[in-house]
Amino acid sequence: MNLDSLVSDIRRHPGVTRKATISDVISFFPDMAMDNILASYGEDAAVVAHNDDALLLAADGIMEALLKANPFNAGYYAVLVNLNDISAMGGVPLAMVDIVSMKDERVCAQVMRGIEAAVSKFGVPIVGGHTHPDCAYDAIDVAILGTAKKDEVIFSHTAQAGDDVIMAMDLDGRFPPSLPYAWDTTSHKDNETCRRQMLTMNEIGRRKLARSGKDISNPGSIGTLGMLLETSGKGAVVDIEKVPTPAGVDLSQWLRAYQGCGFVLTCPSENSREVIDIFADVGVTAAVAGKVDDTKKLVLRMNGESAEVFDFTVDKITGCDPSKVPSSKKCRC
């Protein structure tokens, strides 16, 4: 595939472009300094100090298009995306609450069956929430609480120049019908395997191997790395040919896909082998695909050519660059 076309596909991908309003929303919130808030905007979960531990708090809403296309999967992914946010931070998920807004009881039933399937598979309970039974629309939103040791949290904003960039994905998956950018790696696997994969980043955090990390979400692997670099105020060069990729899958589709189990990490090069082996133990393929630098530019290399995807001196994905966020709203650790 032509590298320029690949770059264009990534930059125009809705999973990337729809993140641009995040910084606009943040601007409305009062600037409040709180000593117990260790990290907030730009992270997969907020980090709140609690005694010797950290509480991890996150929430996600499911896109209307997914709910219309497949209500069961909307319920299932409402749980999974939250679990991945806690996992990405090196945390252990504790419990969730949901907000169900429904106008169609049949849609509601399918959504709830999807939630039930995910809760049963991953073993993290729904413990409360809120129901709107008389809405003019259908929606499902979930919030989650997790925990980690304060010195074992894996942040998004802490990448350093010289770090290896590791891409980790479970290649045993499929694109479900009507969901061309959602790589399903969990629905066909047994509960034990899924739960072990969910806690892989917790193991990496406990061993203090990673400098930074994020789960590969709607922006895809390259877009997710872009968010990490933007928040860290860094750049990177990535060799596309080193990114783990399943056979027979279109490269552009793959690089833009949400991963049922996938992470982008940066770490000192001496830790990379151990990180890769930890993922391999749970059936996830990981590889060093690039290097972090101080350029604030994300550059892709393929077939001997190079092309710039993002220049964070002028481009914005989320706008959660620490230098552009008021002091008390910065990610802090």
Quick one: 3-18+152-323 is in which CATH superfamily?
PurM-like C-terminal domain (3.90.650.10)
Please give the full DSSP string across 116-151, using - where no structure is assigned. Answer: HHHHHHH---EEEEEEETT-SS-EEEEEEEEEEEGG
Secondary structure (3-state) at 297:
strand
User: How much helix, strand and coil, in percent to the nearest 5, is found in the chain?
Assistant: 35, 30, 35
List the pLDDT tens digit at each of the 333 positions of the chain: 799 999 999 999 999 999 988 888 887 877 767 788 888 888 999 999 999 899 999 999 999 989 999 999 999 999 999 999 999 999 999 999 999 999 999 999 999 999 999 999 999 999 999 999 989 999 999 999 999 999 999 999 999 999 999 999 999 999 998 899 999 999 999 999 999 999 999 999 999 999 999 999 999 999 999 999 999 999 999 999 999 999 999 999 999 999 999 999 999 999 999 999 999 999 999 999 999 999 999 999 999 999 999 999 999 999 886 654 444 444 433
Name the residue among 164, 288, 294, 287 with its Cα closest to residue 232.
294
Distance CA 119, CA 110 (A): 14
Beta bridge partners of 166: 265, 288
Tokens of 260: 């049922």
CA angle at residue 284 from 182 to 185, to 5 degrees? 30
Secondary structure (3-state) at 182:
strand
Tell me, what DSSP letter sits at residue 169? E
For the CA atoms of 122, 118, 251, 240, the dihedral, rounded to the nearest 10 degrees, stands at -30
* CATH 3.90.650.10-classified regions of the chain: 3-18+152-323
Does the predicted TM-score (pTM) go above 0.85? yes
Instruction: Count CA within 13 A, CB hemisphere, residue 177.
Output: 3
User: Which fold, 30-150?
Assistant: 60s Ribosomal Protein L30; Chain: A; (3.30.1330)
Distance CA 120, CA 191 (A): 8
* CATH 3.30.1330.10-classified regions of the chain: 30-150
Distance CA 167, CA 252 (A): 16
Distance CA 52, CA 8 (A): 45
* Pairing state between β 285-293 and 235-239: antiparallel
